[in-house]
Amino acid sequence: MERQYDLIIIGAGPAGMSASIYGSRAGLKTAMLEMGAPGGKLIKTAEISNWPGIKGTDGAQLASDMFEHSTAFGSEYLYGNVVSVADGGEWKTVLCDDGTSYQAKAVIVATGTQERMLNIDGEEANIGRGVSYCAVCDGAFFKDREVVVIGGGNSALEEAKYLTQFASRVHIVIRRDVFRADQIIQDSIKDNEKIHVIKKHKPLRILDDGQRVTGIVLQDIESNAEMTIECSGIFPYIGQDPATDFLKNLSVLDDNGYMIVDENCETACKGIYGAGDVIHKRLRQVVTATSDGAIAAQHAFHQIKGL
């Protein structure tokens, strides 16, 4: 089955939903393709405190409000796992894994990033049995238990703080002797009695009893000495990779897989755009993602209508 649109947006996170608002409001026949729940990483975020005009809200609520707005002007919301995008000149073809294809005059890719795995023994086997990449999703399962957070960036520290409302103790493991997180976030965990920071160590392997996680083995970066922490949960937050495998047939990615775009969020393939965390840029935030989506959709509108 093949369907035609003016604009197809791949991904329904903040960037995709913003593009949906601008595209459909401008009168373009618009569709959002998403393989999961709308909202992207917003639905995994406990608290949003840097969205202008709202001092504090939970991510799921903001995602819900955005989604309602994103379809208010007629944009269609479609389920689909995209496996390729083909540049046919005036028309682009978006192919999904079930064989469904869509044609559009413009395509905005807003698929965001995927959490990076530790790639150590015991990790993959224990996903869902104590290994989790979403504290907001799974934190409540670890009430009065010890957990380990791997990573020293903003996400790691924010999730560690969130976990303290459930866990009896939260260990934060970092490879260096300093955090990468913003100072304000570091300050927010500094005096929390439930948080224990382990510096200059890296995860070596995850332990289990055949049914669930029982601990993690860490290795000292300098001495190579090993230590074991008994715990029930492990939350890796060591970075993210762009979800762009389906674009590898196009010359629009940098060496790390991020989309290369110009000031209009357009790639070297005319009519194919990138928006949000998936593009090469310095700051990846909800507010910058929505900006990207608006810019891409507005430029696509002008190009389609020949303005």
Active-site positions read 134, 137-138
Residue with tokens 């990483």: 41
Q: Which candidate, 277, 248, 255, places its Cα nearest to that of 265?
A: 277
Q: Which candidate, 240, 3, 243, 1, places its Cα nearest to that of 109?
A: 243
Region at 148 (left for phi over 0; alpha for psi -120 to 50; beta for the rest): beta
Please give the span between the terminal C-alpha atoms of the chain, in angstroms, as a whole number.
32
Q: Which candidate, 170, 307, 175, places its Cα nearest to that of 232?
A: 170
Q: Where are the alpha helices (DSSP H) in the chain?
A: 14-25, 59-70, 135-138, 154-163, 183-190, 286-305
Neighbours of 217 (CB within 10 A): 16
